[in-house]
Amino acid sequence: MEKELWKWIFQEMDEEKLYQIMKKTDITINGFRKVDREMLRRLRTKVIADLLKPRLLARVQSVLGDMNLQHAWPKTKQELLHEMKDFKRGAEVLAGLLLSEEEEQLQMAEQLYKSLQAPVASQEIENPIQSLQNIIRNLEEKVKKQDGKVKELSKDLLQVEQALKNKETEIKKAEGEIQELKKRIQEEKERNLVYEYEQKLHEQETLKLREELHRVMKESHKQQIEIETLRAPQAFLISPEPQKTIAVLGDLAELATDKAEVFLSNEAIQQAIGTEVLSSFEYVCLLRFTMTPSLLRKVKKSVRTEQIKEFYNMHEFVRWEASI
């Protein structure tokens, strides 16, 4: 039991005091020539193990006895415990008791050591207020830590809320732009519908104008044929004289020349075939490009071959006319 007590004393002893004991006792550690403060700090466990050896322990006890350790005996157990805890003199008090030759002091040293081995129970009995204070301090520390976490979380929450507000603003802006685009698209669609409607009306009007133009041209052409038909028989009956030497046959005959005496359209030619009118001309000019093949064949059968002059375009006719 005594060895266990001395081990506790060396473990609790102030580092400087333990170093002074080693210097005074000239104790060395195996493998080391000299132990300084730094080495003692690193090798404290090994040093304590060596000091507990009987030969070295006796030398340490002799040095401690010379140091006149004061513990103000006699005192009660509670007073000694209070002194050991509050004044950090546990090793000194216990060593002073062990160095005494009084049995009562040795027993007190053992009782104090045993009390120190159950610090929680003894502390609760001896100093309940301090225990509560420690609990309060621990709780306060936890509260401070929690407060810090809460503040940090609150800060993060504010940042998240701000980011959310920014996103909501961006979304609202985007929604506004989308609505504006939809409005513009709708306006464009309406304009396109109006344009398509106007275009359709224009096309219908154009079609009507074309149909009317076609009708007028057809009516004009019909009237022209009637006029030519009425004119042709009179010319045939009244003027079969030799001076009318050129007859131009074809729908473009009127536009061809001023030298021709008679102009016959395709319809007028049908009426002239079978009479002596065509055979009375020196030249019968056929504008092939305006006549059907069947009509050409009928004309050729009704006149002499030497009378016939065929032209495949107006340029040929104009050149021929200029040459006669």
| Cα–Cα distance for residue pair 93/118, rounded to 1 Å | 18
Phi-psi map region of 285: left, alpha, beta (phi>0 left; psi -120 to 50 alpha): beta
CA 133 to chain centre: 57
> Per the structure block, which two tokens stand in for 61?
């006890």
| Cα–Cα distance for residue pair 173/286, rounded to 1 Å | 82
In 3D, which of 322, 313, 315 has the Cα closest to residue 291? 313
pLDDT for the residue numbered 236: 42
Q: What is the pLDDT of residues 40-59, one digit of tens each?
A: 888 888 888 888 888 888 88
| Cα–Cα distance for residue pair 305/284, rounded to 1 Å | 10
User: Which of the given ranges, 140-154, 225-239, 248-262, 277-291, has the highest pLDDT on average?
Assistant: 277-291
Mean of all residue pLDDT scores within the chain:
78
How would you list the strands of the sheet with 262-264, edge to edge? Answer: 262-264, 246-249, 283-287, 308-311
> Per the structure block, which two tokens stand in for 121?
């129970």
* φ, ψ dihedrals at 284, nearest 5°: -115, 105
Helix, coil or strand: residue 304: coil
What's the rounded mean pLDDT across residues 87-107?
74
Q: Is the pLDDT of residue 146 over 60?
A: yes
The owner of tokens 């509560």 is 132
Question: How many CA atoms are closer than 13 Å to the CA of 213, on its beta-carbon side?
Answer: 6
